[in-house]
A and B are shown apart, each in its own frame.
Chain A
Amino acid sequence: MSGVRIPYDIRKIRIPRGEVHIVKDRCKGCGFCIEYCPNDVLAVSDEFNSKGYHPPIVVNPDRCVNCGLCEMLCPEFAIWNTLKGEVEAQIAS
């Protein structure tokens, strides 16, 4: 790690962690949330919902940062996220 400058405010920065909630039966499988999730939290599931679409499934729950993009892009009002907690920022190794 020598030579790497540590940001002076790294102790103050808190990274939010969110939880994704999905109403599976409301989903029409457009895939906007899966495509535009910046941290690849979601993926297409193999199961069918009651309408016959494949709803998204949370595959990386630890990576959600509660940005709210899936909630804003979903045309079916079927996905939203809540703030679960915060973690301290770490330098990527």
Chain B
Amino acid sequence: MEALETVKVKEKESHPMEPLLRMDRMPHIWCPGCGIGTTVTAFVSALEKLEFDLNKVVIVSGIGCTGRVAGYIKLDSFHTTHGRAIPFATGIKLGNPDLKVVVFSGDGDLVSIGGNHFIHAARRNIDITVILVNNFIYAMTGGQVAPTTPVSAYTTTSPFGNFEPPSNIPQLAEAAGAVYVARWTSLHIRRLTKSITEALQKPGFSVVEVISPCAMYYSRINRLGEGIDMMRFYHENSIIKHGEPTENLDIDYQKQIIVGKFVDRERLTFIESHKQWIGETKS
């Protein structure tokens, strides 16, 4: 038997994330096998790594499974109406530019119902970080077809398979003007944490898309197994390609998923360009 040398460490009595979670609201509503909890862990560990002043971090969510994040993280947070997380975050950022504003919401909230807000916040380059959890379906309302549902996937409102081409979120964000675009799955936990760290430090509109298993609706109706089976699928079929042109990032049904950091560029943010414009018009 190898000799164990004990080291003195501060004993953790409870889960290390508990100080940043509203434990009175636990257990959370997310189903067994859902990847949103993992994404929350990645986000909180990114915040801890950056050592931000937590009194100056604001989380805004819309409606949906991922929209519940604002209620579970013990920071200043707001749970807005459906699709309106980005306009609310824009207001917070412009009203108090010292705050670090994070929008944490789902695909149905941010790119379908709030799709126009997403495009225009990216165009103006508002200094917010968007963490977009993509589970390919409207999960909270019963598994309806979403603008991200892959072609031929079954949902409760596409019983013969979906025929609409899904939107490619990284390409949409890049075309609209986002300065940082990355995509990971909820299995790439360390890379996702690093990516969220970079996105939080980047001035401008930064988007991190997180592919997350929906173990109750998407995988059950498509007979893909449980959450763990979808995680195994991500393990085998995700390919890391940093800097891949975003037009190649379409997700086909049960085909390979290209992940990585695709866009990292510099643009004047809304507040900077506003200040510059005022300076020019006054002189």
In the bound complex, residues from chain B placing their C-beta under 8 Å from that of A53 are 32
New A-B pairs, 6, CB < 8 Å, besides A77-B15, A78-B15: A23-B15, A72-B190, A73-B41, A74-B37, A83-B7, A84-B4
Q: Is B108 an interface residue (CB 8 A)?
A: no
Within 8 A of B (CB), among A71-93: 71-78, 80, 82-88, 90
In the bound complex, residues from chain A placing their C-beta under 8 Å from that of B33 are 28, 30, 32, 75
Contact B38 A31 (CB under 8 A): no
In the bound complex, residues from chain B placing their C-beta under 8 Å from that of A86 are 4-5, 7
Closest to B4 in A: A85
Q: Is B9 an interface residue (CB 8 A)?
A: yes
In the bound complex, residues from chain B placing their C-beta under 8 Å from that of A29 are 32
Contact A80 B27 (CB under 8 A): no
**B16 partner, pick from A17, A31, A71, beta carbons under 8 A:** A71
- For the complex, would chain B's binding face be called helix, strand, loop or mixed by DSSP majority? loop
In the bound complex, residues from chain B placing their C-beta under 8 Å from that of A71 are 15-16, 41
Contact A73 B38 (CB under 8 A): yes
- For the complex, would chain A's binding face be called helix, strand, loop or mixed by DSSP majority? mixed
In the bound complex, residues from chain A placing their C-beta under 8 Å from that of B37 are 74-77
Chain B min CB distance to A68 (Å): 9
Q: Is A35 an interface residue (CB 8 A)?
A: yes
Contact B231 A35 (CB under 8 A): yes
What are some 6 contacts across the A-B interface (CB < 8 A)? A28-B27, A73-B41, A74-B37, A75-B38, A77-B17, A87-B5
Chain B residues bordering chain A, tally (CB within 8 A): 39
Closest to B12 in A: A82
**A82 partner, pick from B5, B9, B226, beta carbons under 8 A:** B9
In the bound complex, residues from chain A placing their C-beta under 8 Å from that of B3 are 87-88
Beta-carbon contacts of A28-60 to B below 8 Å, as 1s and 0s? Answer: 111110011000000000000001010000000
Q: Is A26 an interface residue (CB 8 A)?
A: yes
- Most chain B Cβ neighbours within 10 Å, of A30, A36, A88, A90: A30
Contact A77 B227 (CB under 8 A): no
Contact B41 A77 (CB under 8 A): yes
Contact B38 A84 (CB under 8 A): no
In the bound complex, residues from chain B placing their C-beta under 8 Å from that of A87 are 2-5
Closest to A31 in B: B228
In the bound complex, residues from chain A placing their C-beta under 8 Å from that of B232 are 35
**B228 partner, pick from A35, A74, A82, A84, beta carbons under 8 A:** A35
Beta-carbon contacts of B42-85 to A below 8 Å, as 1s and 0s? Answer: 10010000000000000000000000000000000000000000
Chain A min CB distance to B209 (Å): 18
A35 CA to B2 CA, complexed, in Å: 27
